[in-house]
Amino acid sequence: MSNSYLKNIFKQTVYKNYLNQKGNFTYYGEKVFFPKNSTTFMLAMKDGIYEHEILKFIQSNIKDHSTYIDVGANIGLMSIPVLSQNKSVKVLSLEASPNTFNYLKKTHENCSFKERWSIYNKAVSNSNKEIDLFITSDSDGAFESIMDTRRVSFSGTVKVPGITIDELWASLNKPAVSFIKSDIEGADLLALQGAISCMAQCKPMIMIEWNRVNIKPFEFQNQHLLDFCNNNNYRCYAIPSLIPINNSMELSLHTVITENYLLTPII
């Protein structure tokens, strides 16, 4: 192992630790705030770009002068790159966790494109009823869910306002939505069930997380996702391979190696 390699690793470690203590870092030219030891921050430092494969699909499929909805925005790492890349796109970021939202709000207040970026501290579901959100430490905020997924140790629940995508979309005079990303720890199908009108009119591409552990407490089966797609004229593809999913057995096999799926409208 060369000395230059060891020096590089040392520099990266020191830099990461410095930023972790500082509580903010520059991402796509914007200052992003995060809680110490944030899982999301650590992954961004490790990979350079947070969830790069998913981000590429989102960036390449958002249309000019359209709206992108980021459900489960966390600290904003799947919103900021889109805003930075395309100056004509508007972004709606929804984050249920009150703790995580405080960091997202601080980032929003200090960003250079907040006129195109709206943030909401609400839980996206299939109704606008108040929701009990299972919470954990600030650093593990990415794992908070409206059900106990048992992926981390939760410290309790807090009441958060609920909202549907259709309700938000209608309140904004039904903008042209070209992409929806949802990563809300198992509740993603609930979010889509509340987006039927938006999907029917705008026909956006949709990126969702479908994690076998997360969907279990919701009592979702693989067929539920495929039935939803069929009933709304959408096709399901595994990411990043873009292999089409035709039945529940195929989806079950793919969940062993990926939790990310692209839903595309059948036009």
Q: What is the C-alpha radius of gyration for the chain, rounded to an integer number of angstroms?
A: 18
User: What is the pTM for the complete model shown?
Assistant: 0.91
**CB of 68 within 8 A of CB of 81?**
no
Range of 69's domain? 3-265
> 């992409």: which residue's tokens?
179
- Six token digits for residue 108: 């929003």
> 């009823």: which residue's tokens?
129
| Domain count along the chain | 1
Q: Which of 17, 36, 71, 39 has its CA nearest to residue 188?
A: 71
CATH number of the domain within which 24 lies: 3.40.50.150
The amino acid at 166: D
Tens of pLDDT, residue by residue, the chain (267 residues): 444 443 444 345 655 676 778 888 899 999 999 888 788 878 877 777 888 888 988 999 999 999 999 999 999 999 999 999 999 999 999 999 998 999 999 999 999 999 999 999 999 999 999 999 988 877 677 788 888 888 887 878 889 999 999 999 999 999 999 999 999 999 999 999 999 999 999 999 999 999 999 999 999 999 999 999 999 999 999 999 999 999 999 999 999 999 999 999 998
